[in-house]
């Protein structure tokens, strides 16, 4: 066999969302500036990114991350996704530090605090470990801002860069449950096309069900730009819902968000702060893989199941 390229990855998931952490590959990123490396990754390595994300090696819900050395943090992290998905993902911070620690690719620190350099800045995560296993990772984020309010939805902005349209449960959906998945999917596709037609910039659409649950608890479904359902409550979505509720109830201190698949994330205010929110969750390593790129493969970029 003529092995043209080989990739080594650590696969993880965080609250149901999958991440492929690339620790060795022929993707050559040697610039000292992380933004330059990000530009090179997205301008010159489309085939390699597709190879890692698409079937048969990946799937529609796979998120890609590349680990880089950093002069200003414990490591650098670049993101790559399917074209309809966003780039930055808080879950990737959790996934990457978990994968690196549990496989010995980064040294354990006594204070259990790690810094991660991204094109959006440097993020600090706090890790808890037991018997060399990462049991939780926490991080902080700025409180979200209300961009627009309409009779139908509230448009929230996360990190001053990513917009999420927050909708209450529509009449055609009795509740957020797998029993109503067909109606939920249909609604998501229709609303996605509607917002695109109205030229409303959004990273995601979030359907929220606050009925029948305990106080400060919701269930939600997040739709990506193409109407695909995110298999997670979503850190961004949880922060956006929290922000939307805060615009109505100013004394709300925390919010737990459940997905349609029952995974959960909780956001809360950092003590003595009214502009920082914190979130704590756990990542799980699901496997380590070596992928071989064969130039004779008739489907060199892979494919996506529709």
For 32, the token pair is 């000292």
Q: Say yes or no to pLDDT of 154 above 60.
A: yes
How sure is the predictor about 84, in pLDDT bands with cuts at 50, 70 and 90?
low
Q: What's the confidence (pLDDT) of residue 55?
A: 85
- Region 85-111: mean pLDDT is 93
- Secondary structure of residue 287 in the 3-state scheme: strand
Interatomic CA distance for residues 154 and 250, integer angstroms = 16
CA dist 166 to 158, 209, 238, Å? 12, 11, 10
Helical spans, DSSP H, in 137-234: 181-197
Q: What pLDDT, in 10s, does the model give residues 20-69?
A: 999 999 999 999 999 999 999 999 999 899 999 998 888 888 999 999 99
């Amino acid at each position: 066999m003529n092995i043209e390229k080989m990739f080594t990855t650590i696969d993880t998931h965080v609250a149901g969302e999958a991440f492929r952490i690339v620790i060795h590959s022929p993707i050559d990123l040697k610039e000292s500036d992380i933004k330059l490396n990000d530009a090179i990754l997205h301008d010159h390595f489309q085939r390699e990114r597709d190879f890692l994300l698409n079937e048969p090696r990946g799937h529609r819900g796979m998120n890609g991350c590349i680990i880089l050395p950093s002069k200003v943090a414990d490591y650098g992290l670049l993101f790559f996704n399917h074209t309809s998905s966003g780039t930055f993902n808080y879950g990737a911070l959790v996934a990457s530090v978990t994968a690196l620690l549990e496989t010995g690719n980064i040294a354990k620190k006594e204070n259990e605090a790690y810094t991660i350099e991204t094109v959006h800045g440097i993020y600090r995560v706090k890790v808890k470990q037991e018997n060399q296993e990462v049991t939780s990772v926490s991080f902080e984020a700025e409180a979200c801002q209300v961009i627009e309010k309409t009779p139908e939805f509230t448009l929230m902005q996360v990190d001053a860069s990513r917009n999420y349209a927050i909708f209450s449960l529509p009449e055609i959906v009795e509740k957020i449950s797998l029993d109503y998945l067909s109606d939920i999917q249909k609604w998501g596709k229709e609303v996605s096309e509607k917002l695109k037609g109205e030229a409303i910039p959004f990273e995601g659409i979030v359907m929220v069900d606050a009925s029948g649950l305990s106080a400060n608890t919701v269930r939600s479904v997040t739709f990506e730009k193409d109407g695909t359902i995110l298999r997670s409550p979503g850190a961004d979505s949880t922060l956006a819902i929290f922000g939307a509720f805060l615009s109505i109830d100013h004394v709300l201190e925390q919010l737990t968000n459940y997905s349609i698949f029952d995974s959960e994330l909780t956001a809360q205010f950092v003590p003595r702060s009214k502009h920082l929110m914190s979130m704590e969750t756990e990542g799980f390593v699901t496997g380590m893989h070596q992928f071989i790129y064969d130039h004779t493969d008739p489907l060199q970029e892979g494919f996506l199941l529709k």
